[in-house]
Structure 1
Amino acid sequence: MIYLASQSPRRRQLLDQLGVRHELLLAGPDEDAEALEAVIDGEDPERYVTRVTAAKLDAALVRLQRRGLPRAPVLCSDTTVTIDGRILGKPADAGDAFAMLSLLSGRTHRVMTAVAVGSSERREAAISISEVDFAPVSAAEIQRYVDGGEPFGKAGAYAIQSQAAAWISRIAGSYSGIMGLPLFETAQLLRAWQIEF
């Protein structure tokens, strides 16, 4: 059994797909989990996603100890979208979502997902980097997608498993990594911990 320190239903679904038994280890009301995702000016996207994942793991391990839960490895992950060296996190509002999707329209961007498994004594980490090509998307299509509420809570303002899939002409890399948890890299990390699935 492992703990999953993530609110993402997609990450839970992907762990279920692997057959990994897990329990949620979510931040409490006293924790500002979103603050961990703050971008440092000039930060490289790969460094950013790796740093944020490590910070999430640190916070989750403190949470585990504070709650007195049985010991087990903790899995954390973070995903970011990057284009032109910019980090596109979760949109702040509808205008931000519209601007992000307009920037991605007709262009290639990268999706980076870092994953870490750790305990107070040991940690292992990996990163998955994929390329995604968006076809040109009209302003009306983008607005309908934003109005539907799908962009919120998602890096780059879209989910590959949503209606936005109709805009994706090509991916090179990991579909599950673009969803938020690269299964190949995750499986390798879990095997290193002798987690059976």
Structure 2
Amino acid sequence: MIAIIKYNGGNVNSAQNALNKLNVKSMITDDPEQILNAEKVIFPGVGEASSTMKLLKKKGLDVLIPTLKQPVLGICLGMQLMCKGNEEGNTEGLGIFDINVKKFPPLDLVPHMGWNTVSVKKNLMFSGIEPDDDVYFVHSYYCELSEFTTSVCDYILPFSASLQKENFYAMQFHPEKSGRIGSQMLNNFINLSS
């Protein structure tokens, strides 16, 4: 069973619908015990960083998530909150990835919204993905490049399109909105050994 972390960020139901299409059982929950005992955990999100962190703290999930030992996948805001700090609301993150989340320069091109290609380093999450395959982004903040970067997207400037550290995986793009490519990536996550 996959636990999808429930909080005030959007896209929780979209993540579950994407798993349903893959015939994978999941539950949407904010119960620490259920999250702790799940085979895998998805931390999705669309929303505002500081208000989301307040809710996570209220439920004790800010302490729980960094201690999880099973594979964990952060998506969009979920990925950003797994980082050290976020310029949105001057928010302290979960600190799983020791990098910062910054706002794109104030150009007419923000938010970054739509399909874009990513340059992939060797990583299990991208198994079966071709170099010219596009994924779907919607975001105004980006994660810095770092040793944890597993793919890079270039939009105004190069940024981390995905990250990995041990059992923690994260994507700035939305696999649940990225058609066949996104389904392949979710499948890759589902098939990771715990």
Is TM > 0.5 for Structure 1 vs Structure 2? no
Q: Which has the higher helix share?
A: 1
Q: Which has the higher strand share?
A: 2
Higher relative contact order (CA 8 A, sep 6+): 1
TM-score (norm 1): 0.32
